[in-house]
């Protein structure tokens, strides 16, 4: 159910590399813009966009394996 889904998502996020977790945290939990995250991580806004996309793609892939069972 919903609780199990939450556990799966949390576990998937915890398996991400630190940098990708940081991007997700700043974007979703802290409501930072890509520009603000770039300033914090000292990378370009476009690099933050790439990192965010990578993190989301990895989570989606993990979720596919979970929903397939």
pLDDT tens digits for range 17-29 = 999 999 999 999 9
| Residue whose C-alpha is closest to residue 48's, from 61, 36, 62 | 36
Measure the CA–CA gap between 45 and 65, rounded to whole angstroms.
Answer: 31
Contact 48, 23 (CB under 8 A): yes
pLDDT at 32: 98
pLDDT at 1: 83
Report the b/e string of 7-45 with b at 16+ CB within 10 A.
ebeeebbeebeeebebbbebbeeeebebeebbeeeeeee
> Above 90 in pLDDT, residue 64?
no
Q: How many helices (H) does the chain have, and how many strands (E)? A: 4, 0
> Above 80 in pLDDT, residue 69?
no
């Amino acid at each position: 159910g919903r609780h199990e889904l939450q556990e799966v998502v949390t576990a998937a996020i915890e398996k991400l590399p630190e940098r990708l977790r940081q991007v997700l945290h700043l974007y979703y939990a802290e409501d930072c813009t890509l520009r603000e995250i770039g300033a914090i991580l000292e990378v370009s806004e476009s690099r933050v966009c790439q990192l965010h996309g990578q993190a989301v793609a990895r989570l989606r892939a993990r979720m596919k394996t979970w929903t397939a069972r």
